[in-house]
Amino acid sequence: MGLTIAIQKSGRLHDDSIKLLKECGIDIANGVNKLKAEASNFPIEVYFLRDDDIPQYVEDAVADIGIVGENVVYEKNKKVEVVEKLGFGKCRLSIAVSRNEKYDEHSNYLEGKRIATTYPHIVQKYLDEKNINAEIHEISGSVEIAPGIGLAHAICDLVSSGSTLFMNGLKEVETILQSQAVLIKHKGLGAEKQQILDKLLFRFQAVKKAKNNKYILLNAPNENLAEIVSLLPGMKSPTVLPLAETGWSSVHSVLSENEFWDNIERLKAAGAQGILVVPIEKMII
């Protein structure tokens, strides 16, 4: 018995979902316009669905698991379990108003206003939490034009760079939800399928850790070795190997990219030379 996973058949999460599965060593032959495909080397079958439908399919156990944006999970409000945040497809659900409007989050600006959105459930929950009485206009697309044509005073929509808002004369004023791709599962998943899911999660996590970390190699003068090692904590401690040239050692470590950039100037000041930063394909801890 294999696992079934639902992913977007098209859209912003499709390519990244397929890429993640391939990075996990799962070979999927996805022909043009195919609605499902079976992996040749892992007990999993992929369904290609509309993103809005994925939570329903998982709740109904038509698909055991699915990859979908958090915004869709919370908007559809289905009985599914979020088991892993996947680190791609990051965006935010935000309130936006005309650039000419004076907006103060403490002034109760939205009271009595009309808000256009494709996320009425999330927006209503936000309004209830803020004790704001506003009218929600649910529309299926082109939310950004609503203020310009007089349909609404504000919108609530997904934002990545903000360029679409800018081109439509809008400004982002408040974020109500941070979103990224997540893995969801059916709450009644059986033990056999859970074992397969655990193996899949192990692979997902190995790929995620690899993307967030880099393999660092550098040459260090022995007199400054202790200082340089202290700047490279790594997973446990760096590997130090003697070089052919007397008085020098090669230092190898794994650390997050942010830690590296924070310490690069101090490493150079301590005498580190020949610094190499190498991407990691998989990382098992």
CATH of the domain at 269: 3.30.70.120
* Shared-domain flag, residues 113 and 167: yes
d(CA 198, CA 149): 50
What are the tokens at 34? Answer: 């195919």
Instruction: Give the model's confidence band at 176: pLDDT under 50 very low, under 70 low, under 90 confident, else very high.
Output: very high
Given a cut of 80, whether residue 33 has pLDDT beyond it is: no
Same-domain pairing of 11 and 67: yes
- Both 47 and 185 in one domain: the answer is yes
DSSP H helices, the chain, are: 14-23, 54-59, 70-76, 120-129, 163-167, 191-212, 225-230, 257-269
Task: Check whether 257 has a pLDDT greater than 80.
Answer: no
Final residue in a domain of this structure, among 179, 200, 225 = 179
57 closest CA partner among 35, 79, 36? 79
pLDDT band at 234 (very low <50, low <70, confident <90, very high): low
On average, the pLDDT of the chain sits at 91
Q: How many domains does the chain have?
A: 3
pLDDT band at residue 31 under the 50/70/90 scheme: low
Q: What is the CATH number for 75? A: 3.40.190.10
Q: With pLDDT > 70 as the criterion, what percentage of the chain qualifies?
A: 98
Highest mean pLDDT among 47-51, 103-107, 164-168: 47-51
Do 83 and 184 reside in the same domain of the chain? Answer: yes
Kindly report, residue by residue over 199-217, the tens digit of the pLDDT: 999 999 999 888 888 888 9
**In a shared domain, residues 168 and 100:** yes
pLDDT at 72 over 70: yes
Residues 225 and 271 in one domain: yes
Residue 85 shares a structural domain with residue 96? no
* Span 7-27, average pLDDT: 92
Residue among 248, 200, 220, 190 nearest 46 (CA): 200
Residue-level pLDDT at 141: 80
Asked whether residue 39 is domain-assigned, the answer is: yes
Q: What does the pLDDT average to over 21-37?
A: 84
Map residue 149 onto helix, strand or coil. coil
pLDDT at 143: 92
Q: Which residue segment(s) compose the domain that 231 sits in?
A: 213-279
Picking from 157, 179, 201, the residue at the C-terminal end of a domain is: 179
Answer for the pair 13, 72: CB distance below 8 angstroms, yes or no. no
Do 46 and 185 have their domain in common?
A: yes
Q: 11: pLDDT confidence band, cut at 50, 70 and 90?
A: confident
Residue 140, pLDDT score: 85
pLDDT in tens, 129-162: 999 999 999 998 889 999 989 999 999 999 988 8
Q: Which of 159, 179, 199 is the last residue of a domain?
A: 179
Statement to judge: residues 231 and 167 lie in one domain: no
Q: Domain for residue 224, yes or no? A: yes
For 80, list phi and psi in degrees, rounded to 5: -130, 165
Cα separation of 87 and 89, whole Å? 7
pLDDT at 34: 79
User: How many Å apart are CA 178 and CA 90, to the nearest integer?
Assistant: 8
Q: Tell me, yes or no, whether 13 and 69 share the same domain.
A: yes
Residue 29 has pLDDT above 90, yes or no: no
| Same-domain status, 40 and 119 | no
Any idea which residue has 């704001």 for tokens?
Answer: 132
Tell whether 202 is covered by a domain: no
Inside any domain, residue 156: yes
pLDDT of residue 21: 95
The verdict on 221 and 249 lying in the same domain is yes
